[in-house]
A = this chain, B = another copy of it.
Amino acid sequence: MAGNYLGDIFRVTTFGESHGTGIGAVVDGCPAGLEISVEKIQKDLDRRRPGQSHITTQRKESDTVQILSGVFNNRTLGTPIALFIPNEDQRSKDYDHIEDAFRPSHADYTYQIKYGIRDHRGGGRSSARATAALVAAGSIAKQLIAEFSLLVGAFVTQVGNLKIEKLLHHTEADLAKLISEAENNIVRCPDQHVAAQMIDLIEQVRKEGDTVGGVITCVIKNCPVGLGDPLFGKLQSDLAKAMFSINAVHGFEYGSGFDGASKRGSENNDEFYSDRDKIMTRTNNSGGIQGGISNGMDIYFRVAFKPVATIIKAQESVNEKGESVELKGRGRHDPCVVPRAVPIVEAGAAVVLADHLLRNRSSKL
C-alpha cells in the first residue's frame, strides 16, 4: 500500500535516501533454486553508476552491492533476498541552500507538504539515486527470466531533437546486436553516428549549465504467449506503472503508440499467419501485446524523459515561508539522464516480466 514496492508475486520493496547510510531492496517471492551471479548485478549497477563517463554526474560511488540474505551457495532459497548498496560520496553541504527552499521542478515542495518533513540532502528519497535499488533487484529479475529465455534490452533513441528512426516496428530487429552496439558508446545509442552527435549535444548543454531530455526504447524478446492479467493487470499497465516510477519520465507508449491515434484500423491491424506451427503477426503495431496479454511477438515501448531539473542558471522560487528566493543548481548532477537510465528501464521491465511469468502459472488448471 505504501508505495515502495513493485510486483505482486515477485515483489521488490526498496528503501534508502540519497545521503543516508545507503540504498537497498528486498526481493520477496523469487523462486528457489535460481543461480545468482553477483557479477551480473554489479555490471548492471555499473551501467547506472554516477561518474561512469564525462557526460554524467561526477558523484563518485562504487555502488558495490551486498547480498544480506536469501542466497545460499549462490542459489536462491525462496526466502527474501535483501540487497544493500552503501552510500559513499555524499556532499551534504552542497544542499544547505535548499534546506528550507524548494528547487523548481524538483520534489522538494511536494515532499515537504505531504510529509511535513524532508531530507533535503541530495533530494533524499526523491533522488534518482533510489533507482540503484531497482537496478539491483531488476538484475535478479533478469537472471530469473533468462532461465525462460526472455531478454530485455533498452537503448537511447532520442536526445533533445536528435533521434534515430524507430527501429522495430515491422522488422525483426536483432536485439542482441542493438544492445551491443548501444553499449559501444557512452550515450548508449545503437547508431554510432547519431550517438556521436548526441554526445556532442550533451556536452554543449552541460557547458551552458543546462540539461536536455530524451527517449529510451526498450525491447523484450522471446516472451511467451500469455503474460498479463486483464483487466487492470494488463502487461502494458504494469510496464507503464513501472516506467512512470522512474525519475523524470513523462511519457510511455507501446506498439504504434501515439502514432496509432492518427491511423486507420486497416493500416494498424496486425494480420495473423502461421509459420511451422507458430502463430505470428505480419506487422507488430500491437507491440507484442493484445488485450493486455503478450502474443509472442517482440514487445517494445518508448519512454520519454524530461530534462533534469537541476540547472546552473538562476531560477525564481520560494522558501518554506513562501518568500521569494533565487536558486542556482549546486550539487553534482547529470546534463542528460537517459544514458544512465537505460539499465533502470530494463530493470523495471524485468521486474514486471518476472512477476507476470510467475502470475501466469495460475492462469490454467
Contacts and interface: CB of A to CB of B under 8 A. Distances in A.
A245 B250 contact: no
A142 interface: no
Contacts of A255: 250, 306
A69 interface: yes
Contact of A364 (B33, B277, B286): B33
A305 B260 contact: yes
Interface stretch (A57-65, A72-80, A170-178, A180-188): A72-80
Contacts of A211: 264-266
Interface residues of A, number: 152
**Interface core residue of A22, A67, A290 (most chain B CB under 10 Å):** A290
A20 to B, nearest CB: 5
Interface string A199-234: 000000100001111110000000001101111111
A130 B292 CA distance: 14
B258 A130 contact: no
A284 to B, nearest CB: 10
Contact of A124 (B79, B147, B317): B79
Interface in A255-285: 255-258, 260-266, 268-274, 277, 279, 281-282, 285
A66 to B, nearest CB: 8
Contacts of A79: 4, 15, 17, 119, 124-125, 230
Contacts of A240: 237, 240-241, 243-244, 252
A155 interface: no
A56 interface: no
A226 to B, nearest CB: 4
B268 A105 contact: yes
Given A252-B253, A266-B311, A364-B31, A291 B107 contact: yes
28 contacts: A1-B29, A2-B9, A2-B362, A4-B26, A5-B232, A16-B68, A17-B70, A21-B69, A29-B362, A77-B117, A77-B124, A102-B279, A105-B285, A110-B291, A116-B365, A147-B365, A213-B262, A213-B268, A237-B240, A237-B245, A240-B241, A251-B252, A265-B308, A271-B316, A274-B324, A279-B318, A358-B361, A361-B362
Among all A-B residue pairs, the 8 with the closest Cβ atoms = A107-B291, A3-B233, A3-B229, A2-B29, A251-B253, A211-B265, A32-B115, A110-B293
